[in-house]
Amino acid sequence: KNYHFLQQKSKYQFLQFHSAMDSIIRNQTTFAQIWALEEATRNPLTGIERPAGYDAMLQSRRLLPVHERYSEILDAYQQSQIMILSSETGSGKSTQVPQLLTYDEYPSGLQVACTQPRRLATRELASRAAAEMGVTLGEEVGYRVGSDQRYNENDKKTRLVYLTEGVLVRQLSNDRDLSAYACVIIDEAHERTLNADLLMALLKKVVSRRKDFKVVIMSATMDAALFQRYFNNCPLVRISGRNFGVETFHMKAPGTNYVAAAAALVMKIHQGSEPGHILVFLPGKKEIERVCNLLSDFDQNLEVLPLYGSQASYQQSQAVNSPSSSRKCIVSTNIAETTLTVDGIVFVIDSGLSRQMIFNPRGRMNMLELRTISQASAKQRASRAGRTRNGFCYRLYTRETFNLMEPTTAPAIHREAVDSVILDLVHAGYRKIADFDWIDAPHPESLLRAVQDLKDWRFLRADGKITQLGKLAAMCPLEPMWYRAIEIGAGLDCSADIVDIAVLCSSQKPIFVQPPGVVRVARAARERSRSPQPMQSI
């Protein structure tokens, strides 16, 4: 489909390091030039020989569905400041499109940023992109995940950076025009996190001020039309996935113990089914560890691996990337629902549940609550089984339950507290919050409550302007309520204790880690370290 470039290919075969990149004109790069850059014997970004295994990886990349659409993607990107890329699972968009645009934007001297809603995906995608481009992670390709950064800050060497949505929100507070970036890609936009919705609204403003700035919204198929309307009918490119057929099975009657049912089904699949890895979706860490314990002594040829957001990074990478000669069973939260690809998954077991952040008005805090997933999430989970061959999805709920599910998950702006988003907006210079151009506006009651709370906490003045204290709170990676608690604690001579509590409540990582399989050892260690004195309350 794109092989019309063969007529031009000979024209670019002489391209090597400096001459290759010097031939690129910003936003005029052709598919033939990209092909030549990827096939050059020396890396056009570093000037050194390609590493071993590069050619095999390149050929594998060219089998991805997104590669067939490079010309169409480049045309849409170069002709408009904003474009939507709608893709099914398995197209390769999260790794390939950022690389493609990095070459097209190279002459600008600016960076291409790609945001992710999850920390694990941010690290894994950056690592994969660096390997595919044949460069060192932390040099030409980097990532920023809170305080965890692999990034060259000494010069402009880093050209492609993956970062969490929250990091880019904080950067916008300090630089409204994002002057370091030529392009920002919002990946997994269909998840509709608070930060993603805020970023899309703010980037729309940046585009109106910077004519040399571009935005790419990458989404699953269900929300593409919504985003296209919001961005004034900008170009939309649709890409199919690389999915094979997935046969779906439902429970005949509602079950009561989905944890035991999931473990029993894993055993049945392992004993009686064809080869292929298993992916189990459960709502949280507690349920995951119970299933892992039930399966721990089942069969030495079944490698059981947990996967959830609060794990240590090395444990997450082990679950996603570790090669295995035996069958793997990955027991995961919805962290494995999108973006991350685990090769060889043939069987998916779906509990139909997830823990979602819900605002509790009584406690005035966001809390994780057990909820039924949407039909869109159920379909996304099933599609994980059909990446490399025909697969099977076993749903631990009835077809009637599926039919009663909401079509899509409600955006976070309708479920969570919005005080941090409002504070970020005001800090970025936007005061008319009620008239702000949201994709979906927060409920009026939520908006009024958030503004009043920010005023009560002295982060906003009565006229809506941000205070000096509010500016400090906006720059702190904590919920505004916790920053206010720390500020009050300083006056009560207990700020250190409040900081500890705030960090513990806000941290996405556990402070007490009990590795699977060493329960008795961990208990004995806790007993030895237990203090004879009762814990003092502050």
If asked whether residues 230 and 250 sit together in one domain, one would say: no
Confidence of residue 362 (pLDDT cuts 50, 70, 90): low
518 occurs within a structural domain:
no
pLDDT at residue 19, as a whole number: 59
pLDDT digits (tens, 9 = 90+) for 189-229: 999 999 999 999 999 999 999 999 999 999 877 678 899 99
If asked whether residues 74 and 211 sit together in one domain, one would say: yes
165 occurs within a structural domain:
yes
pLDDT at residue 519, as a whole number: 63
If asked whether residues 258 and 323 sit together in one domain, one would say: yes
224 occurs within a structural domain:
yes
Question: What is the mean pLDDT of the segment spanning 74-91?
Answer: 93
pLDDT digits (tens, 9 = 90+) for 253-265: 988 899 999 999 9
Of residues 523 and 376, more confidently modeled: 376
322 has a pLDDT exceeding 80: no
125 occurs within a structural domain:
yes
If asked whether residues 307 and 389 sit together in one domain, one would say: yes
In whole angstroms, what is the distance from residue 215 CA to residue 206 CA? 9
If asked whether residues 228 and 271 sit together in one domain, one would say: no
pLDDT at residue 430, as a whole number: 87
pLDDT at residue 216, as a whole number: 98
Question: What is the mean pLDDT of the segment spanning 23-50?
Answer: 92
If asked whether residues 377 and 424 sit together in one domain, one would say: no
If asked whether residues 502 and 464 sit together in one domain, one would say: yes
533 has a pLDDT exceeding 60: no
pLDDT digits (tens, 9 = 90+) for 160-184: 999 999 999 999 988 999 999 999 9
467 occurs within a structural domain:
yes
If asked whether residues 159 and 224 sit together in one domain, one would say: yes
Confidence of residue 243 (pLDDT cuts 50, 70, 90): low
Percent of the chain with pLDDT over 70: 90
Using the 3D structure, point to which of 412, 437, 457 is the last residue of a domain.
412
Instruction: Output the CA–CA distances (angstroms, integers) from residue 538 to 112, 239, 295, 486, 500, in the order listed.
Output: 47, 56, 42, 13, 11
13 has a pLDDT exceeding 60: no
481 has a pLDDT exceeding 60: yes
Of residues 365 and 336, more confidently modeled: 336
pLDDT digits (tens, 9 = 90+) for 436-452: 999 999 998 889 999 99
pLDDT at residue 332, as a whole number: 95
Instruction: Kindly report the CATH number assigned to the domain that includes residue 9.
Output: 3.40.50.300
Q: What amino acid is encoded at 450 in this protein?
A: A
How many degrees, rounded to 5, is the angle at CA 473 between CA 472 and CA 479? 160
pLDDT at residue 355, as a whole number: 92
If asked whether residues 357 and 497 sit together in one domain, one would say: no
Confidence of residue 518 (pLDDT cuts 50, 70, 90): low
478 occurs within a structural domain:
yes
176 occurs within a structural domain:
yes
Confidence of residue 531 (pLDDT cuts 50, 70, 90): low
- Name the nearest CA neighbour of 26 among 86, 104, 93: 104
pLDDT at residue 154, as a whole number: 73
9 has a pLDDT exceeding 80: no
pLDDT digits (tens, 9 = 90+) for 107-123: 999 999 999 999 889 99
pLDDT at residue 495, as a whole number: 86
Mean pLDDT computed over every residue of the chain: 88
If asked whether residues 160 and 35 sit together in one domain, one would say: yes
What tokens does 66 get? Answer: 């997104």
Instruction: Output the CA–CA distances (angstroms, integers) from residue 493 to 403, 487, 490, 498, in the order listed.
Output: 56, 10, 5, 10
What tokens does 398 get? Answer: 């009835």
Using the 3D structure, point to which of 210, 239, 268 is the last residue of a domain.
239
pLDDT at residue 253, as a whole number: 92
pLDDT at residue 188, as a whole number: 93
How many degrees, rounded to 5, is the angle at CA 118 between CA 115 and CA 122? 55
- Name the nearest CA neighbour of 443 among 418, 406, 424, 462: 418
522 occurs within a structural domain:
no
Contacts of 393 (CB under 8 A, 6+ apart): 246, 247, 248, 249, 347, 348, 349, 350, 381, 382, 385
Confidence of residue 514 (pLDDT cuts 50, 70, 90): low
Of residues 153 and 415, more confidently modeled: 415
Instruction: Kindly report the CATH number assigned to the domain that includes residue 492.
Output: 1.20.120.1080
pLDDT at residue 352, as a whole number: 97
Say if residues 22 and 1 touch (Cβ distance below 8 Å).
no
If asked whether residues 90 and 216 sit together in one domain, one would say: yes
Q: For the ranges 134-138, 342-346, 433-437, 520-524, which has the lowest average pLDDT?
A: 520-524
Using the 3D structure, point to which of 363, 391, 412 is the last residue of a domain.
412
Confidence of residue 497 (pLDDT cuts 50, 70, 90): very high
3-state secondary structure of 130: helix
pLDDT at residue 54, as a whole number: 94
Percent of the chain with pLDDT over 90: 62
Q: Domain span at residue 198?
A: 3-239
In this structure, the strands spanning 160-164 and 111-116 are parallel
**Strand pairing partners for 114?**
162, 185
If asked whether residues 377 and 351 sit together in one domain, one would say: yes
Q: What amino acid is encoded at 179 in this protein?
A: S
User: Domains in the chain: how many in total?
Assistant: 3
Confidence of residue 15 (pLDDT cuts 50, 70, 90): very low
305 has a pLDDT exceeding 60: yes
pLDDT at residue 11, as a whole number: 44
